[in-house]
């Protein structure tokens, strides 16, 4: 079972992940309306690029935007979750050993205690975000079972990986479950809301270009809006 889930099934999951994300990007760009979303972008490209980069840059840093600053607790949880989700799988020692064995290359690796802290941070942040969705009426009213499921899909590889690493027994069972959870996560990213993994950058760039050109960015420079 281990050879299957870490071999052919892993290739399939990564294939769906990469191809699916490319398709999502193409669909997003093709879905932009020339009269609304893209107006003047090709003419005023310098203002658009500047606005896009500013938008992405400030949203990538904790408290970089007014929205982040107005919700400090939520901001900390979101960044703890996303930093752990992005950094831990890529720089985990066990994953890099597997990369070296299967594909002949590896990345710099995290010290094991740091990887443990990041994994725990992901689990705790996800749990508190679930409690937030339950506790706050304005969030609860727009939350469905689908949202809880996505959080569980995202956090499951970290729970099972933590258990597998620290388990004194049943390691084989937990490592297989961990790999399966990771593959489900990879497949879910392009097929669900988790596609914000890449669509975040496209939507922030679009909004940044919109504000950088049409909504005050070119004020006083002859633009009608």
Domain that holds residue 119: 2-27+70-198
pLDDT tens per residue across span 90-108: 888 888 888 777 777 778 8
Q: Are 202 and 28 in contact (CB under 8 A)?
A: yes
Give this prediction's pTM.
0.85
Choose among 137, 117, 136: nearest CA to 128: 136
pLDDT tens per residue across span 103-146: 777 788 888 889 999 999 999 999 999 999 999 999 999 999 99
Q: Is residue 124 part of a domain?
A: yes
Q: Is residue 84 part of a domain?
A: yes
Burial of 178 (0-12, 13-18, 19+ CB in 10 A): buried
pLDDT of residue 41: 63
Neighbours of 138 (CB within 10 A): 6
Domain count, the chain: 1
Q: How far apart are CA 223 and CA 219, in angstroms?
A: 7
CATH number of the domain at 74, please. Answer: 1.20.950.20
């Amino acid at each position: 079972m281990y050879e299957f889930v870490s071999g052919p099934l892993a290739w399939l999951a990564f294939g769906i992940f990469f191809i699916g994300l490319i398709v999502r990007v193409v669909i997003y760009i093709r879905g932009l309306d020339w009269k609304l979303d893209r107006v003047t972008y090709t003419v005023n490209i310098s203002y658009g690029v500047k606005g896009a980069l500013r938008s992405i840059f400030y949203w990538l840093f904790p408290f970089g935007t007014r929205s982040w600053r107005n919700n400090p607790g939520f901001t900390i949880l979101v960044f703890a979750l996303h930093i752990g989700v992005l950094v831990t799988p890529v720089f985990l020692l066990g994953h890099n050993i597997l990369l070296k064995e299967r594909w002949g290359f590896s990345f710099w690796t995290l010290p094991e205690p740091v990887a443990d802290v990041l994994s725990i941070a992901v689990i705790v942040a996800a749990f508190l975000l679930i409690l937030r969705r339950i506790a706050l009426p304005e969030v609860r009213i727009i939350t469905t079972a689908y949202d809880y499921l996505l959080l569980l899909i995202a956090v499951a590889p970290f729970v099972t990986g933590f258990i597998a690493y620290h388990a004194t027994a049943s390691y084989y069972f937990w490592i297989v479950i961990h790999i399966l959870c990771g593959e489900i996560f990879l497949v879910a990213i392009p097929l669900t809301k988790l596609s914000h993994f890449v669509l975040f950058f496209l939507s922030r760039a679009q909004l940044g270009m919109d504000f950088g050109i049409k909504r005050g960015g070119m004020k006083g420079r002859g633009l009608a809006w």
